[in-house]
Amino acid sequence: MSAADEATKAMENLTVAPPAPKGTAKRDALRANEVAVQKKWADAGVFEADPRSADDSQESFMVTFPYPYSNGHLHIGHAFSLTKAIFRAQYERHQGKNVLFPFAFHCTGMPIQAAANKLKDEIETYGNPPKFPEEDPEVRAKMEAEIAAAKAAKAAASENKAKGGKTKLVQKTGTGIVRQWNILAKMVPPDEIPQFVDPYHWLSYFPPIGVEHLKNFGSGVDWRRAFITTAVNPYYDAFIRWQFETLKAKNKVLFGKRNNVYSLVDGQVCADHDRSEGEGVGPQEYVLIKLQVLPIEEDKNGRHAKMAKLLEQGKKVFLVPATLRPETMYGQTNCFVLPDGDYGAYYVDATDEVFIMSARSARGLSCQMYKGNDGYTKEFGKIDCLETFKGDELLGLPLKAPLAKYEKVYTLPLLTISMSKGTGVVTSVPSDAPDDYVSLKALQEKADFRAKYGITDEMVLPFEVVPIISIEGYGEASAVFMCEKLKIKSFNDKAKLEKAKDETYLKGFTMGVMTIGPHKGKKVCDVKPVIKQEMIDAGQACLYYEPESRVVSRTNDECVVAATDQWYLAYGEESWTEAVKKHVLSDSFDAYDPSALGRYEYTIGWLQEWACTRQFGLGTYLPWDPVWVIESLSDSTIYMAYYTIANHLQGADNLNGDPSKSPDQIDPKDLSAGVFDYIYRNKPYPEGCKIPEEKLKSMRDEFRYWYPMTLRVSAKDLIPNHLTMALFNHAAIWEEEPELWPRGYYCNGHVLVDAEKMAKSKGNFLMMNDTVNKYSADATRFACADAGDSLDDANFSRETADSAIVSLSNEETWITETLASSVLRTDGEFNFMDKVLINETNRLVVQCGESFAKMQFREGLQHGWFEMLLARNEYRSWCQDSSVPIHKAVITKWAEALVILICPVCPHWSEMLWSKLGKEGFAVKASWPVVDEEDKLLTRQAKFLRDAIKRFRGTAGKARKGWTAASLLVTNEYPQWKIDVLKFMQEQYSDDSGFPSTFMKDMKTWSGKNITDKKMIKDVMQFGSFMKDEANEVGRIALDLDIPFDQYAILESSLTYVKAQLGIPDLDILNLSTAEGVPDRVAEQVTPGKPHLWIR
């Protein structure tokens, strides 16, 4: 046996990876390594980041993640969003930056207090441990029967939806209200549960567990900066007091009547902990559009008798639909009501008018302010009902719609109206509301539908869509465009309608331009509030509020929104709003996604006054009015700045801020407003300060070193609140220093598990630590990276996590065994495939880095792991089939690059391999691989060989049996028509931007003028399309008339490999220009760069 054969045999033994054994051996090995690596990290403090000296040019990079609410364990949804910060932080470490990634735990607000109260009630009512009534089989059977009856009732009557489908029995047992004891029993030993009646026990129990779980995940956090919120932590408490004192001094915190969720039965604001349904729901502002009822027209059947009598009383009567889009009122064509809905005529004292609306909305209106401190009604919570109507009695009424093109519009039927939302009246703008367009179109096209509800042709047919807003790419009637695009046929296409509505509403606000009215030519986002105010001032509209979704108090009262005394943040103040908007839209801020940027812009314009205090719950007491507690969204807006000094104040293992553990021995009582002004706002050293100035200067310098925060990572649901509020608060506190405002926000969508929404009932609700123990941290992180990166929902696949265990384990074995082999080549000569693997490694290092920098981690994983393995597999296969040993220097370069490319995702695995490769230090501290620029010609040569073999296989697979000979045919010359096409393409191609977007259309035009044989046009277009893809991949060289490499030489050097791949031992290479006897049909298959397998 020759040396080459011996080498080949040895390599075969190395590369045959055994199938994954049943059991957990590979997972257990990964976990054991993770535990060991994490200890090494902790011992060395590798993630503890400190400022560099002034003469050190190392760039800082601060990334943060919203601190999770600490009333339980972290789940895979937390982990998925968290990985975006973890991955980017680690990538930036490899870029040589000084990276700070801190973490903390949020305990402010109602939920913990509410849960503690709920547990206390359960124990007092049902004992310790409690015996709940639903544990009795008879009670449960009765409960299940009531559930079935409720479902049947809901299906039979749409009104049940508004009232909710749950009976009192269901609400009082374990289905309507989840038992707090049972929730805790899944996380806490049963004998410890009674301690959780004390809300402060939660603060000492769950945050330390969160720290351990995050360490198990390999989160790379600087734990010296960790803390919890609320007055329990005196250091953070002092920081929040200073923040609010500063805001008040800047007139950003004001006092007055503001809208809150309110229970009329209880006679008080219904805070989260007072609710049996609707936790976290806040007020939503609507605009009531006043459509005046005109004198009754011909009324043969007496349908409008009640209305006629009402009009005789002399008061103006209005149908008042609630809208979020007052700027679209120019496009009104009609008004909708629910034929079976219950409506009332309610007298409004403030305007001396009558409003037609649902009883539920009238009840809410009676609790709200009309102007200043004047309510809509004389008596709070009470409103006079002058008459009641069924929706059918309102159909066909003539109306005067403000701003509308049409002098008179009519009330029409709409069967999908929910009486539990808005006023039960809906104004119709079919140009920009897909639901309205579909509904109006149905009435116009279906005479029998009109006849059923007594609607005449004159009430419907003359009303055409009125274009009011132009949106680039959507035209002047976006609803019509989207309905046609999505092929929406009726209002039964609910999913499509929802998608169409979301898209048209968002695009309309962010991109829309008014095409009608006095604000024609202006952007919708700019004039929306102006038009709203103009309508209010003209008496054409008024404001109305209701909860964002249904809220029910513990006394079973459906809550309204009421104006009550409150401290609030004046986010709507014009100069404040403009400053934030200017920053977000500038080059100083990166939203990473145009859609996310549009949402920030929308929220900045939408966010107005925000009630920033509560009278219940945990948190920091308002310094100047301590009966109020600062609420959870308001004490979490600039805490990122607190991270920069928390290591001085609290230090490691001191989440609750025990002063005796303070590293700088600072007493929290000495943290005056002047101290924080010195640290954060460059104010003078405060007179009489008990803290030495050198300590404060150290903190000031550290804050200035880390700020501005480079990146904040979050799920998309925080855009409308926390993320935007953080921008506002930074802009207020550091008003004179916009260079300290946040530099970037990255948001991701929610995560599904195995393509389904997480739910305990489906068995796919995954807790983070459980998932780590089941799959390992690295495999879990791998599956998170592969799940997706956009604002759309991502998918965490447990199958991917399982596959990652096998892949990581097998690669570790192959790399270590291969590099330890004695049969590797060590000579200085690199063959063609050696160079190809080096070049592929160079290319993928760059592409992986570019993807990570753009927060495209799935794409980065594709380049940095999957494509790296494919490149190695191709190289390995070539070496085996060619009986050429692998080159040690080549595979070492590849392995060292792979270890660092995957390190942001799987750092524990990388640390193990880094050590096995004999490298010094930690992998997480290693530099990103330094590589040569990709040789695009070599990339093209490798692709030439790869594609050629793929085509050869296809040809061989189709060959008839009994063939006797085979050859590879190559040519260096294009036929004239292809030369002409390539010359045209060279003219069209730009080295900067590639081909124009109209290239294929332009090429078709060129072909019609320049190709005389019209039968050839199809071939021309196919060839042009193929070469366009080639040029997009490798650049202009793809369009060269002469192939810039020797096809024959590449095939010849790889002939042994090709023979093995095709299973054809007798194979030669022929040049088409000199080969004899080649049939024309075969010769036509051969072009430069596309050799052909000739079987004969």
Place of tokens 């009246």: 425
Are 65 and 82 in contact by the 8 Å Cβ rule? The answer is yes
What pLDDT is attached to residue 60?
95
Chain centroid offset of residue 411 CA = 40
Q: For residue 570, give every residue at least 6 positions away whose Cβ sits within 8 Å of its Cβ, in sequence order, or none.
A: 251, 252, 253, 254, 576, 609
Give phi and psi for 104, each to the nearest 5: -155, 180
**Both tokens of residue 1021?**
């277009």
What pLDDT, on a 0 to 100 scale, did the predictor assign at position 614? 84
Report residue 754 as tokens.
Answer: 């195995």
* Per-residue pLDDT, 47: 97
Residue with the larger pLDDT of the pair 372 and 540 = 540
Q: 398-400 and 291-293 as β-strands: parallel, antiparallel, unpaired?
A: antiparallel
Q: Are 580 and 570 contacting, i.e. CB atoms less than 8 angstroms apart?
A: no
DSSP letter for each residue of 916-930: HTT--S-GGGSPPPP
Digit-coded pLDDT (tens) for 375-399: 999 999 999 999 999 999 999 999 9
For the chain, give the mean pLDDT.
91
Residue 164: CA atoms inside 13 Å, Cβ hemisphere, count?
16
| Residue 158 pLDDT | 38
Three-state DSSP class for 480?
helix
C-alpha R_g of the chain: 35
Please compute the mean of the pLDDT values over residues 810-838 and round it to a whole number: 94
For residue 805, what is the enclosing H or E element?
Answer: helix 798-819
> Which has the closest alpha carbon to 616: 22, 13, 92, 116?
116
The CA–CA distances, whole Å, from 332 to 356, 400, 402, 454, 522 equal: 18, 10, 9, 21, 20
Closest CA to 502 of 605, 598, 601: 598
Tokens of 1009: 């003028």
Q: What is the mean pLDDT of residues 565-587?
A: 94
Task: Say if residue 9's pLDDT is above 90.
Answer: no
Band of pLDDT at residue 14, cut at 50, 70 and 90? very low
* Average pLDDT for 512-539: 95
Q: How many CA atoms lie within 13 A of 589 on its CB side?
A: 24
**What is the mean predicted confidence (pLDDT) over 616-624?**
93
What pLDDT shows up at residue 343? 98
Q: What is the pLDDT of residues 855-898, one digit of tens each?
A: 999 999 999 999 999 999 999 999 999 999 999 999 999 999 99
What is residue 963's predicted lDDT score, i.e. its pLDDT?
83
Q: At 515, list the tokens.
A: 């095409």
User: Residues 71-130: pLDDT tens digits?
Assistant: 999 999 999 999 999 999 999 999 999 999 999 999 998 789 888 988 999 999 999 999
In a 10 Å sphere around its CB, with 0-12 CB exposed, 13-18 middle and 19+ buried, how is residue 1077 labelled?
exposed
In the structure encoding, which two tokens stand for residue 938, read together?
A: 């070599």
> Can you give the pLDDT at residue 164?
39
Tokens 């609030």 — which residue?
A: 568
pLDDT band at 17 (very low <50, low <70, confident <90, very high): very low
Residue-wise pLDDT tens digits, 211-228: 999 999 999 999 999 999
**Cα separation, 1079 vs 538, whole angstroms:** 86
3-state helix, strand, coil in the chain (%, to 5): 50, 15, 35
pLDDT of residue 653: 96
pLDDT of residue 162: 35
- pLDDT digit string (tens) for 504-515? 988 999 899 999
Per-residue pLDDT reduced to its tens digit, 189-208:
999 999 999 999 999 999 99
Residue 689 neighbours by CB distance under 10 Å: 15
In this prediction, residues 294-306 reach a mean pLDDT of 89
Q: Please check whether residue 488 is in contact with residue 479, taking contact to mean a CB–CB distance below 8 angstroms.
A: no
Tell me: the pLDDT tens digits for 145-163?
776 776 665 555 433 333 3
Whether residue 171 is predicted with pLDDT greater than 60 in this model: the reply is no
